[in-house]
Amino acid sequence: MDTHQLDTRIETLDYLRGFALLGIILVNIISLLSVKLPVPGTTDASYLRFLYLFVEGRFYTIFTFLFGVGFYIFISRANAKGKNGYVMFLRRLLVLFLFGLVHVQFHPGEALTIYAICGLIILPFYKANKLVNLLFGTAMLVVLGLFAEKIFMVVPLMLLGVAAGQYRFFERISLHGKRIVIFTGIMFVLSVAGLVYQYQHVPSVFGNGSGADSLETQRFLQLGITIGPIVSAFYAGLLILLLNLPIVRKVLSPLKSYGRMALTNYVSQTIFILVLGQMLNLVDHLSYIQSLVLCMAISVIQLTFSTIWLRYFRYGPLEWVWRMLTYFEWMPIGKASDSCR
């Protein structure tokens, strides 16, 4: 396998990462700015229901799965270049953990430290049989999903990503058109069934205390987490199918740049939210609809910045630092430097 082929990005993964980030910010802003619970019967209450039916527990699963895919691709490409893929990946996890230690000071419950730790857990599965990884990951996801704890679902989601990498699914995605259509159709039917069931448990009042309203809310949210991977699979399958259309790829091209700079954009989401929250005195004063508007504004800024940045640079700022600390060598970041080498 030549160097060019090794370095070729799988664009579908970038689109999916960008798509996942757009959903993640909608959920993260709620806790970061202590968005107040809405009055029943208002537009804010309707958006809250929408958020926990169609967003919460849907996008982090895609992001986590893609980490597993990237895990496999990184080690495989490092090995193919004559490097020790395991050592390189351990360094990569260490740097990610350090990023997370800083990020968690401002965003409790952030994902980077968890990803780094879970990356160590799944490392032995790199050489496991791909069918075993697929079946074991699926079974573990189903069982742990019943406990409705997102942190328990990280390892099986990553393991399924590893299996996708072993099957080279995204590298041969053009060969799987019919299978993707069938898979997406099945996930659509299951998603509708799951969402209808979850909707039947929508609480009349969203509570955060110890009363009956809080128990209803907890049940509703737990159902959402349990069916989350199914809805996520439908979202991902649908986007992959749409990306077969050139017009869609062109229109969504900023999403590709957004996903290429996933680490930078994930961390800067937190920075934007917290800085604007303090500057505009939004903490505990923001409504749900207002949080949506703020997220849309931040996303537009990030999408625009990512697109412009990658016209002149090879990596996002944090991706560049991450890469250099992983390889222990200086790497030129500007595209102009490529033509001079």
Domain boundaries, given as residue ranges, for the chain: 3-339
Question: For the range 325-333, what are the long-range contacts, defined as Cβ-Cβ under 8 Å and sequence gap of 24 or more?
Answer: 325/91, 325/95, 326/88, 326/91, 326/92, 326/95, 327/88, 328/91
Which band of pLDDT confidence, cut at 50, 70 and 90, is reported for residue 211?
very low
Looking at every residue in the chain, the average pLDDT score rounds to: 91
Percent of the chain beyond pLDDT 70? Answer: 94
Report pLDDT for 217: 84
What's the pTM?
0.92
Select from 274, 229, 257 the least CA-distant residue to 62.
Answer: 229
Which band of pLDDT confidence, cut at 50, 70 and 90, is reported for residue 204?
confident
pLDDT single digits (tens) 52-100: 999 999 999 999 999 999 999 999 999 998 888 999 999 999 999 999 9
The predicted model gives 220-246 an average pLDDT of 95
Which band of pLDDT confidence, cut at 50, 70 and 90, is reported for residue 2?
very low
3-state secondary structure 176-227: HHHHHHHHHHHHHHHHHHHHHHHHCCCCCCCCCCCCHHHHHHHHHHHHHHHH
Token pair 């004559």 is found at 82
The predicted model gives 115-128 an average pLDDT of 95
Query: Would you say residue 151 has pLDDT above 60?
Result: yes
Which band of pLDDT confidence, cut at 50, 70 and 90, is reported for residue 3?
very low
